[in-house]
Structure 1
Amino acid sequence: MALTERIPPLMRERGFRRYWTGQTVSLAGDQITLMALPLAAVLVLGADAAEMGWLKTAELLPALLLNLPFGAWADRQARRRRVMIATDLGRAALVLSLPVAYLLDMLTLGQLYVVAFAVGALGVLFDVCNATLFVALVPVERYVQANSLVNGSRSMAWLAGPGAGGLLVQVLTAPFALVADAFTYLISAAYLARIAPAEPAPAPVRKGHFSEGLRWVLKNRSMRTLFAAAGTVQFFNFMFATLFVLYATTRLGLSAGVLGAILSAGAIGGLIGAATASAVVRRIGVGPSLVAGFLGFGVPLLLVPAAHGPKPLVIGLLFAAEFLSCVGVMLVDIASGSLQMALVPDAIRSRVMGAFRTLNHGFRPLGALAGGLLGSTLDLRPTLWIATIGTVLAVVWVLPSPLARLRELPKPQSGAAQPGPAPAAAEG
């Protein structure tokens, strides 16, 4: 077989190839910042636990507060691609301000908080515009393949980014490691500047414009089902994530190095899941892939609270849990992401994506809070059982719905903003 025949068809199209390349580089840079920014706070500024909590809050708040208003604004814009370029340039400037301030001996925790919040806010704006650019570049029959390629890049970033970030911090110090992330934003902007897809026309401003995306999500049966399932996963998985490191280190006695290797196994699983998702969806259909993804993500996590006995057995169970659950999460992300792209009308796409992300992100702090409270009252292992069983039960929202039997993606709605019926499930 010739090498060109092995290349996914989308990668032979110059516009998508440039889009994907920019996304891939930017995702890698994000992982560097996730490592370098908190290390700058700890190693350079001596931040304590409370100050690290404020830094994390500054990173998370934009996703919770700004998805709805930014989505409403983005739907009224005719040039979303230019907005995305501007956000890339803005994030590059913000990140570069940190090493500059460090050189001038002016770096403060306050600046880190502001940069973390502002970079997060521009990231939200980039993402709500990105949903529209994606459908302008990709035909519906290739949504799954395109989402597989983008999620594959995300898995590669998870795999390589923390290690690269740690190495850059060690060699350059934390503030100067952020220069690498700034360059990734510039590269992303350069690639976006070299594509020119025909973007959907901006939506007219009318009464209820701001809340229209939220109303559409709640009225459309399919999106409502996806929201319920995804929200359940977010709540219980953040309950799990809040306690996992503490449980693994204090109760299971694992070292930081072993724990890092276990998390790397998850990144490899995610990469394999992204690479195989298109074939799975073609073979069993969108709906069954969604069900398999939710189960594939949740069921392996049950191995974590079940782990006990000799340390090699415990480590093996945790490796299996991380690896298999990340294969599953890629399948559910790719199937549900492609389904959302097909379901949502162009006229309200950014608002719907903003509303959906706002609702889902709202479950994250609630799950983290519940994990902390239950972990301190019931103990760690019982709370992890609750969290993992709750994650598995997310599939209950999907199983009785028509989505579970859906074979093909529904035909996209190009203009109408009315929530249509749930897509008919093709039998067979």
Structure 2
Amino acid sequence: MLTAFARAFKTPDLRKKLLFTLGIIVVYRIGTNIPIPGVDYRNVQTCIDAAQANQGLFGLVNMFSGGALLQITIFALGIMPYITASIILQLLTVVIPRLEALKKEGQAGTAKITQYTRYLTVALAILQGTGLVATARSGALFQGCPVANQIVPDQSMFVTITMVITMTAGTAVVMWLGELITDRGIGNGMSILMFISIAATFPSALWAIKEQGNLADGWIEFGTVMLVGLVMVGLVVFVEQAQRRIPVQYAKRMIGRRSYGGTSTYIPLKVNQAGVIPVIFASSLLYIPALIVQFSSSTAGWATWVTKNLADTGATAHIILYFFLIVFFAFFYVAITFNPEEVADNMKKYGGFIPGIRAGRPTAEYLSYVLNRITWPGSLYLGLISLVPTMALAGFGANQNFPFGGTSILIIVGVGLETVRQIESQLQQRNYEGFLR
């Protein structure tokens, strides 16, 4: 593997892509440590060092921002507004005929939808930035901290607007950096930034487990958590690589004097066809009601119920709803990304067929049947892997935002495998050994 890395850096164009990606990552990490104007950075650090941060509401955004949210930096919102905007646009594509028509137009339609996503990202950044500033001013961001009310000393309208504009501009810059990685670097830019944000919280979270432990100065708890984390990573890698291969046979065709076709291939249907998208969808959907309550500062009965049952990641209602949302979004995302009828039509057009299955509608029905059967274990796996680590590690002070929690471990492994796969494909264009022998 080290030889493959050395060979990758010896290839000029691949080396440029890797160095460009690393440069963007450095810029992103610098931005996550620059505080915005109007914030007393010493008071923020005092509250963070006291480990009294209330991550029940903003925990998901804080994880995706690499801890920048609780430090109230220029990249405090991270890529969460972009993720939410992408989710909303994908859901609206199924409902609004205009967006569905744009999706079918190819590259031009996709570019238009991407532009809509950018506009919606800025709007959501303004909304979430305003909510974060209001929370920081009221002292609710750090519950129990004696200087929580002094995080924003000057609460004038000008300072508030400046803070919101700065965070919105930071979100736009993060979105731009992600698109630069996608265009000129290696891998999907937004996924890479998400990977880096989550990985950045690993050292501090693991060391906190050691500091809070009681057995052998915390080393036993630390070793146990590391062992559980390695087992979970291995399980996730095993399931993520699992797939059902449906054999496809192409009949021979005579065009002039030449014979084409007659080959055998397969359709790879992954057990987890939707990847980590359902987990992000479910997390974002549960985050929105809690954000509305925090933004409205309401004390009504519904607001209290939302705060108690949805904002608290350990609440029974939150866990049950989170699990069922993951299962629902797994089926929903697979339904909108894989069309059995379209695949069957393309196979029939080029003379392909599944052995034992007639071409056309029977093939579509068979593909739909197989897809539903493998989506069930895939969706249940996503739901369990997102909840089991949270409950199993609760004794060590872990929660949903712990690095080896369900959401983070799925994203880390999924993005890591995809990035390695892209580097391997780049290497295979120049030699046949690939990334791993």
TM-score clears 0.5: no
TM-score (norm 2): 0.32
Q: Which structure is richer in relative contact order (CA contacts within 8 A, separation 6 or more)?
A: 1
Kindly indicate which of the two structures has a greater share of residues assigned to strand.
2
TM-score (norm 1): 0.33
